[in-house]
Structure 1
Amino acid sequence: MGKAWHANAQFPWEIARYVGGIENVKINLTLRIYSQKWHVYAGLAILNPYAKEQIRQYSQSVTDLFKLMLGGNREEFERRIRAAGAAVFDAQKSHHGILLEDEVLDRFSLGKKPDEPTPNNHLSLLAMVDCWSRMGIVPYDHMICSTPLFRLWLGVTEYLFRQPALLDDVIRIAIEDNTFRSDDLEFTFAARGWSDCVTFGDFESYKDRFESTRKFFEPRFADATKVGNEMMKTILMNTMRE
């Protein structure tokens, strides 16, 4: 997401369509990652064969879903999304409450929330669940050793997939609404670029990609860290209650 926003020269908290709800989590998660040192994530990605496999599959999921969106293939797109959601979340419905609620999502914002939210297809979240499904990963099985960032990512994907009306709307928007199409294109490029970088074990390219985007977002790191810390505390409390 960060690389895509950078490519479009967008500060998402200054754009109304990226403020509020799920967007708050995506922005804070992105800025939290880029406020760290590049080698922390490079090592985790490049030196871990299992991480390489997940990154490759995530990139493939993004690409596959984007192609279905471009082709207007709603039936196959919806089938794939619902199958992925069922594989990842259905078994958890009777055991877990939702990790993130509306009030929590709207509380942590770096920008002014618009009166009417702009629809978004949330390709990044749909692809994450598709990736987990295709790799046979049940993320709840890894909660005990998960990082706060992982819990935040799981919380926001769960929020989307466990609200039928919201998921219905996202599927419709993905096929019918072109508002975010150029952003989706840059996101697909970014996902594939990171995947290639990790697959080739190219630390220098990873550093260059990371540092250029880090510099772009750096002016807002202080605000993002403060807001992000509060968000992390909230979701950690929710997971501890489960």
Structure 2
Amino acid sequence: MGTAWAANNQFPWEIPRYVGGIENVKINITLRIYSNKWHVYAGLAILNPSAKKQIKQYAESVTELFKLMLGGHREELERRVRTAGAAVFKGDGDADLLLQDEVLDRFSLGELPPERQRVKNNHLSLLAMVDCWWKIGIVPYDHMICSTPLFRLWLGITEYLFRKPGLLAEVIDTAIEDNTFRADDLEFTFAARDWSERVSFGNMDGYREKFESIQKYFAPRFPEATRVGNEMIKTIEENMRKKEQT
């Protein structure tokens, strides 16, 4: 996401369509990663065979879902998205979600636009994440004991999307009918494939070069993003504890 935003010369918290709800978590995850050292993520990605497999599948999921969107293949897209969601998320309703609406809107780096100005998004990055888990046979809840705060945030927003039937239906409609995010999705698809190739080749120098160029672009907002991200992580961890106790 950071690579795509930088390629489009965007600071997403300054664009109304990227402020509020799920978008807040996407932005904070991105900035939290880029505020750290490149070698932390390069090591996790390149030196772990399981990570290489997941990254490769994620890039493939992004590409295949984007092609379905471009081609207007609604039935195939909906069938694939809902099959993946059913394999990963077993809960009914949204009462016990790790992230709730008031939490998502509270942690914003930008000014929230009026509800009537909210721009619908197809959330390709999140659809692809669940598709990736499904394709590889991963149920993320089985791995929570060793999960990182960033993983919990990522799980929280994918769970939020897939366990709200109305929102998921809106996302599928948007993916087929709305071109607002097409340029962003194109850059995101390029980015996912490029990162996957750098990881598959074990290219540490290439990883560092790419990471640090994006890091430099977003650096001015790191202090604020770190503060907001810490608060968001604290909230989701409290919700996880409550969930485990019930």
The 5 A counterparts of 1:134-213 are: 134-213=135-214
Distance (Å, rounded) in 1 between the aligned partners of 2:83 and 2:99: 22
Shift of 1:188: 0.1
1:23 aligns with 2:23: yes
- How many residue pairs align between the two structures? 241
Distance (Å, rounded) in 2 between the aligned partners of 1:183 and 1:25: 17
Q: Give 2:74's aligned residue.
A: 74
2:98 touches 2:239 (CA, 8 Å); kept in 1? Answer: yes
Which runs of 5 or more residues in structure 2 are unaligned? Answer: none
Name the amino acid aligned to 2:41. Answer: Y
Distance (Å, rounded) in 1 between the aligned partners of 2:18 and 2:242: 30
Q: Give 1:61's aligned residue.
A: 61
Distance (Å, rounded) in 2 between the aligned partners of 1:241 and 1:37: 33
Query: Pairwise CA RMSD of aligned residues?
Result: 1.2
1:114 aligns with 2:116: no
Shift of 1:97: 1.5
Distance (Å, rounded) in 2 between the aligned partners of 1:174 and 1:93: 24
Shift of 1:93: 3.6
Q: Give 2:103's aligned residue.
A: 104
Moved over 4 A (4+): none
Percentage identity across aligned positions?
72
Distance (Å, rounded) in 1 between the aligned partners of 2:91 and 2:121: 26
Distance (Å, rounded) in 1 between the aligned partners of 2:119 and 2:91: 30
Query: Which string of whole-angstrom CA distances, capped at 9 and with x for unpartnered residues, describes residues 13-71 of structure 1?
Result: 00000000000000000000000000000000000000000000000000000000000
Distance (Å, rounded) in 2 between the aligned partners of 1:92 and 1:105: 20
2:91 touches 2:163 (CA, 8 Å); kept in 1? Answer: no
Name the amino acid aligned to 2:125. Answer: S
Name the amino acid aligned to 1:77. Answer: L
Distance (Å, rounded) in 2 between the aligned partners of 1:234 and 1:147: 14
SS of 1:9 mapped into structure 2: coil
Distance (Å, rounded) in 1 between the aligned partners of 2:173 and 2:141: 28
Which runs of 5 or more residues in structure 1 are unaligned? Answer: none
Distance (Å, rounded) in 1 between the aligned partners of 2:201 and 2:131: 24
Relative to the length of structure 1, the TM-score reads 0.98
The 5 A counterparts of 1:213-224 are: 213-224=214-225
